[in-house]
């Protein structure tokens, strides 16, 4: 999967979290960087912040829907709830997650999207 966020700490934290659950991760710090990466790499999921300079999450979503031959699922992360979340789902985002999010909710959402059932989770 590809994680796109301009906050380096959050990007690293999210990458670490999903890596530990078995996802392979690439990172990008802007929508523009992400579109460049998508030209040469095939990913299943794009996890992106909505609000970024140099190509925000919505632009990235629209780009993926329009130009990527086998489009990955797009999960958008939003810092505050407003109409963009609804708009994102309407134009084809697989999910919108509001910050601050719990790690296992994020993982659960990603698992659901790729159709993976995780039996080991939250036993304790």
Partner 1 sequence: MNDSKKNPHSLPAEVFRQILESLDDMVLVKGPKSKMLWANRAFREFYGMSEEQLHGIIDAPFSNPDHTQQYVEHDNYVYESRKALDIPREPCTRHDGVVRQMHTVKSPIYDDAGRTVMTVGISRDITDRIEGEKLKEEQRAHQMYSDRLQALSAMAGGMAHEINTPLSVILTLSDQLREIVEERGFDRDVFISSTKVIADATMKISRLISDLQTFSRESAREKFDLVDIRDVVNMTLSLCRQRIQSKGIRFDVTMPQKNLIVNCSRTQLSQVLLNLCMNAQDAIARIPSPWISVEVKDSENKIEISVTDCGSGVPLEYREKIFRPFFTTKDVGQGPGLGLSVSRSLIQGHGGTLEYDDKAANTVFRVTLPRVS
**Footprint of partner 1 on this chain (CB under 8 A)?**
6-7, 9-10, 12-14, 16-17, 20, 51-54, 77, 79-80, 82, 98-104, 106, 124
Q: How far is the CB of 69 from partner 1 (least distance, A)?
A: 30
Q: How far is the CB of 37 from partner 1 (least distance, A)?
A: 19
DSSP state letter for 72: P
Q: How far is the CB of 71 from partner 1 (least distance, A)?
A: 25
Helix count (H) and strand count (E) of the chain? 5, 5
| SS3 of residue 111 by DSSP | helix
Report the distance separating Cα 36 and Cα 103, nearest Å. Answer: 28
């Amino acid at each position: 999967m590809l994680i796109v966020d301009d906050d380096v700490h959050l990007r690293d934290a999210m990458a670490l979290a999903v890596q530990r659950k078995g996802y392979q991760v690439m990172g990008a710090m802007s929508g523009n960087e992400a579109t460049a990466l998508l030209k040469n790499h095939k990913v299943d999921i794009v996890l992106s912040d909505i609000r970024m300079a140099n190509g925000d999450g919505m632009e990235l979503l629209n780009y993926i829907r329009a130009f990527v031959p086998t489009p990955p699922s797009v999960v958008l992360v939003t810092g505050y709830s407003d109409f963009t979340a609804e708009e994102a789902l309407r134009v084809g985002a697989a999910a919108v997650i509001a910050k601050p999010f719990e790690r296992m909710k994020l993982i659960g959402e990603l698992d659901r999207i790729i159709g993976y059932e995780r039996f080991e989770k939250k036993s304790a």
